[in-house]
Each structure stands twice: as C-alpha cells, then as structure tokens.
Amino acid sequence: MIYSRKVFFYETDAQGIVHHSNYPRYFEEARGYFLEKNGLPYEKVRDELKLDVVLLELIVKYKKFLKFGDIFYIKMYPKVLNKYFFKFEYILTNQNNNIICTGETKHCFVKKENKKMLSIPKEFLRIIEQNTIR
C-alpha cells in the first residue's frame, strides 16, 4: 500500500526545503489512508467505536530532503507488538525513487472519553495482520 501526494508550498521553510515537522504529519496522512483503504476510516474509529489512536513513540531518520514541487510516496509496514501496542514503519521516497526519510511510530488505542488504554480491537488486529509482511 502506497500513499502519495505533492508537497504544498506552505510546507516549505526558509532553507527552501520541506520543514522536518511535516514528515510526522505525512505519516499520519498515510495511516489515515491505510485505515480508509482497509474499510475502517479513522472517523469511524472515533465516532462509532468511540476510540482514539494515540502516538507513543516517533522516530524519523532524515536522509535527503523534499522540495516544493516534489511528489512523495510512502510505503508503510504495520506490525502488532503485543496485546496493546502496534507500530508502523515508513519509507518515504520522491519521484526519482530516492529515499528521503524512514520512520517508525508506536501506538495504542484509548477510550475516547477518558483516554484509558485498551487492548487492540479485533477489527483492527485483523487489518494489521492482513497487511503484515512476514
């Protein structure tokens, strides 16, 4: 599964490149796309299941940079860690197939009303497992 779009001008900074704080946002966009394509859009997680997904850890390793006008592509690799925790690994490339950065995010589910941690819901477990590369 690949998420892709063009860089917006407002995502650049005075170094002439995409500001580093946008990559965690690109990863979030990719997770939203992943959920949607697997039939469980995040709106549904929030409004029907009354759950939130929380970010626990974020790692980004910057190799090269994106510039305005570039198109980026994100390949993502989900993985269940245990009953509570799951993670995504990301490889972000540009239109010339250069690796721009790699990343990793670790998450859990919480109840929306009180932010208490819950074990990963069945619907979501199934989606992750279907998309895990062994």
- 70 labelled catalytic: no
Per the DSSP assignment, residues forming a β-bridge with 108 are 54
State the nearest-atom distance from the C-beta of 14 to a second copy, in Å: 4
Provide the total of helices (H) and of strands (E) in the chain, helices listed first: 3, 6
At 23, give phi and psi (nearest 5°).
-65, -45
Q: Between 19 and 87, name the residue whose CB sits nearer to a second copy.
A: 19
With binding defined as CB under 8 A, does residue 29 bind a second copy? yes
Q: Give, in degrees to the nearest 5, the angle at Cα 84 between 52 and 25.
A: 45
Cα 68 to Cα 86: distance, rounded to the nearest angstrom: 33
The residue (of 28 and 125) whose beta carbon lies closer to a second copy is 28
As annotated, the active-site residues are 13
Which residues are at the interface with a second copy (CB under 8 A)? Answer: 6, 8-10, 12-17, 19-22, 24-25, 28-29, 32, 41-43, 46-47, 52, 54-62, 67-69
